Structure 1
Amino acid sequence: MAMYEGDPEVIKHVLAEAPLPARLLMPIIGPRLYAAHAKRVHGTATPPRSHAISR
């Protein structure tokens, strides 16, 4: 979820500090896992991001 919602520059910085396996795998595995979760919960793999939801 953090990779889906987060600022790309912040995610890049966080991953730069992570161990090598996480740096290599998270950009591949993270979006896939979140898409599967979002599809179950929201009915779509790409629900509106929190900043796009009007209050």
Structure 2
Amino acid sequence: MEATKKQLNYILSLLQKLPPEKVVKITNEYDLNNLTKKQASKLIQKLLEEQNEFSH
């Protein structure tokens, strides 16, 4: 099942808060055009962790 529009919008908003090198690394790991709901959930979790590391 494909990721929801809400998940994708949240992922994009989280990506915008990270430094460019992190964004490139993460977007190379995940195909944002073909994410499943489960993959999107894992990616959101990863992005939140990255954001916490970046903000400290």
Asked if TM exceeds 0.5, the reply is no
Structure 1 length as normaliser, TM-score?
0.40
Per residue, is there more helix in 1 or in 2? 2
The structure that has the greater radius of gyration is 1
